[in-house]
Amino acid sequence: MEEKVARLREMVRESDNIVFFGGAGVSTESGIPDFRSVDGLYNQKWKYPPETILSHSFFERDPAEYYRFHREKLVIDGVKPNRAHLRLAELEAEGKLRAVITQNIDGLHQAAGSRNVLELHGSILRAYCSRCRRPYPAEKMNHGQGVPRCVCGGIIRPDIVLYEEPLDDDVVRRAVDYIRKAEVLIIGGTSLNVYPAAGLINYYKGDKLVLVNLSETPYDNYADLVIHEKIGEVFSQI
Ligand code: APR
């Protein structure tokens, strides 16, 4: 690992155009389970498969059950940014990192001080009415009881991308632009299983594609450097 981390440290030292693309594995060291690891969310037993509950049609059909899952599994109180989040915020402040592109909805990159964060799947720290789109404080949704309702009678929903829903065009356009122009693209804590998010990394044209992930991913063979270690550990050394 030493030699690989030294190579990554060198890439970071030499560049002022780094882009980070991350997933749930960035937040596991903050106590938030990821989705597809053995102890991940999708391997926990629920009345319905979590991928079903986190879909647009399920939210419409059974909002009460959606909110039971949301409050029990998506909202984890007291979580703090970890060494990976903090180092990324430092690299941005040092003028080396241009953007964090994340699939996570936990807001931990912003909590760590990152300013340019593109949330491909939105955030559970924002809510709005599914009928009139009036914005609401997330508190009412994340810690209330039952199905939260807007003054117009519509159901209040999280500002996240549920399955069957499209990603935000503007966020995708900006993410592609950063990736296309990046000198160094560091991908961390993601199984690269979910599209269109995972497909965005195909826009990278450089020769410094780094993968920091505990397990193998379908993109390992395309990377210029692969480090199968804990991202917090690796980032504390670069
Ligand atoms: N350090 C490095 N890698 C880690 C760590 C860690 N501390 N912890 C977990 N990982 C790795 C796991 O090995 C796994 O490959 O992070 C990856 C997490 O993959 P997933 O659980 O599939 O999460 P993610 O890739 O973010 O899922 C993408 O799927 O369900 C949707 O919307 C959801 O955004 C999510 C998307």
Ligand 1 centroid, distance to 133 Cα (angstroms): 30
pLDDT at res. 69: 94
- Could you read off the pLDDT of 48-77 as tens digits, one per residue? 889 999 999 999 999 999 999 999 999 988
| Residue among 83, 212, 214, 236 to mutate when testing ligand 1 (max atoms within 8 A of CB) | 214
CA dihedral 26→84→98→22, nearest 10 degrees, is -10
pLDDT category, 36, cuts 50, 70, 90? confident
* 109 tagged catalytic: no
d(CA 175, CA 161): 16
**Sign (positive/negative) of CA torsion 153, 168, 213, 110?**
negative
CA distance 234 to 230: 6
The closest residue, in CA terms, to atom 25 on ligand 1 is: 190
pLDDT tier for residue 44 given thresholds of 50, 70 and 90 = confident
What's the CA-to-centroid distance between 152 and ligand 1, angstroms?
A: 37
- Omega of the bond leading into 196 within 30 degrees of 0 (cis): yes
The residues that bridge with 123 in the sheet, in sequence order, are 159
Where does residue 68 rank: exposed (0-12), middle (13-18), buried (19+ CB within 10 A)? middle
**Per-residue DSSP letter, 192:** -
Give this prediction's pTM: 0.96
Residue nearest atom 9 of ligand 1, based on CA coordinates: 25
Distance CA 34, CA 84 (A): 15
Residue of 70, 85, 109, 121 marked active site: 121
What does DSSP assign to residue 205? -
3-class SS of residue 36: coil
Q: 152-194, pLDDT tens digit by residue?
A: 999 999 999 999 999 999 999 999 999 999 999 999 999 999 8
Q: pLDDT tens-digit profile of 103-144?
A: 999 999 999 999 999 999 999 999 999 999 999 999 989 998
**Residue 47's pLDDT band (cuts 50, 70, 90):** confident
H-state helical runs in the chain: 2-14, 50-53, 56-61, 63-69, 83-93, 108-111, 138-142, 169-181, 231-235
DSSP state at residue 159: E
